[in-house]
Amino acid sequence: MAELTYTVEGMTCAHCAGAVSREVGRIEGVDDVRVDAAAGLVTIQTTGAVSDDAVAAAVDDAGYTVVATR
């Protein structure tokens, strides 16, 4: 299992966190998503190979932007 953390721009509230969590959670191989809107962080737990591009696309679909990967 791997843990990946992304810095996301534009999230400000629980609604933002929910939208990002739903979209990222749909990616195959993602087992858990934690979103801290106040800090602008999205952390995922994976059991499969999940590409940064897939996460960025899901975040974009939710209306936000990945600005960094940690």
Confidence at 48, pLDDT banded by 50, 70, 90: confident
The domain containing residue 7 runs over which residues? 2-69
Q: What is the mean pLDDT of residues 23-48?
A: 96
Q: DSSP 3-state assignment of 7?
A: strand
What pLDDT shows up at residue 35? 97
What pLDDT shows up at residue 9? 96
DSSP string, 16-70: HHHHHHHHHHTSTTEEEEEEETTTTEEEEEESS---HHHHHHHHHHTT-EEEEE-
Between 48 and 52, the higher pLDDT residue: 52
Q: How many structural domains are present in the chain?
A: 1
Which of residues 48 and 18 earns the better pLDDT score? 18
CATH code at position 28:
3.30.70.100
The closest of 46, 45, 42 to 10, measured between CA atoms, is: 42
Residue 18 has pLDDT above 90, yes or no: yes
pTM: 0.94
